[in-house]
Amino acid sequence: MKYLLPILFLGIFFSNCGNDDLAIPAVDPVEQLATDKALIKNYLTTNNLTAEESSSGLHYIIEEKGSGDFIGVNSTVNVLIKGYLLDGTSFTPDESCSPSTINVGDDLIAGFKEGLQLFNVGGKGTLFLPSELGFGQIGSGPIQPNTVIAFDIEIVDQKKFERNKIRNYLADNNLVADSTLSGIFYIISEAGAGDHPTASSTVTVSYKGYFADGTTFDQSNPVATFELNSVIRGWQEVVPLLKREGIGTFLIPSDLAYGQEGNGSISGNTMLIFDIALVDFRD
């Protein structure tokens, strides 16, 4: 099953304040909630599912509670998401499987905010939202007014998630790599000669940086010289693995690169790959 929440669709998870210019027939909220609960229970029965129900009317299935950090109203979490209607129609695209960073304290729709706090990091399950906990009588984009919506979610441990993606990348490309204690994977193709630089050395390198899909986001022309302590933590760790004229490929998780914020064309929570040749260095 694929999950995602690309930036284009992020807005649908925030509260819809409505539009006073829209002529939307009033619906009795008590009757609508009863109707929505009946629809959810019928869906659960039809699909042989068992769910819990909160006092708000949220129905939820906890497949795994998760053993990581508690999720509260001030938490920032990375979530894999698939959103769909009870007829199976998806309202999130399915061409990606990257987690989205969500601040629980933001103005999220009520059912999604409540549902996230039922889990710890590492948890996964399904949420069924009556329309008043979703987009109510207004709707949003492809979601019509007074519509029950469902989410399959997994709150990922981003470090473990990315390191597993790196292992899958290596396996898919028939590559064998060593790894550091911090979780960087590397392949030294030319050992080089002489001494190693340190994390405070000034280095001259030739390099190319690219994503797992092969897209190049940066490269030297033909070389670049800089102080290692002025660049991302991953570089401070991997370049000292090389000697002069050494060459290697390094797969760096986002927590040792640009983290949740990203940088320019590099999106948040993105693993980076670098081919690096160490030309020279000085301390």
* 101, two tokens: 């960073």
- Residue linked to tokens 């601040």: 103
pLDDT tier, 5 (very low <50, low <70, confident <90, very high otherwise) = very low
pLDDT for residue 141 = 86
Domain of 27 in residue numbering reads as: 7-156
Q: Work out the average pLDDT over 6-22.
A: 45
What CATH number should be reported for the domain holding residue 170?
A: 3.10.50.40
**Same domain, yes or no: 36 and 148:** yes
Q: Of the residues 127, 156, 185, which one is the last residue of a structural domain?
A: 156
Per residue in 112-129, pLDDT tens?
999 999 999 999 999 999
1 pLDDT more than 50: no
Per residue in 191-238, pLDDT tens?
999 999 999 999 999 999 999 999 999 999 999 999 999 999 999 999
Closest Cα partner for 239 from 183, 173, 195? 195
**Cα-to-chain-centroid distance, residue 225:** 33
Could you tell me what percent of the chain has a pLDDT over 70? 90
pLDDT tier, 260 (very low <50, low <70, confident <90, very high otherwise) = confident
Report if pTM > 0.85.
no
Closest Cα partner for 253 from 181, 196, 157, 185? 185
Domain presence at residue 2: no
**Same domain, yes or no: 63 and 193:** no
Per residue in 217-230, pLDDT tens?
999 999 999 999 99
Domain total of the chain: 2
pLDDT for residue 14 = 55
Q: Of the residues 156, 172, 190, which one is the last residue of a structural domain?
A: 156
pLDDT for residue 47 = 98
Q: Of the residues 135, 156, 177, which one is the last residue of a structural domain?
A: 156
Query: How far is it, in rounded angstroms, from Cα 96 to Cα 117?
Result: 25
* 207, two tokens: 């390099």
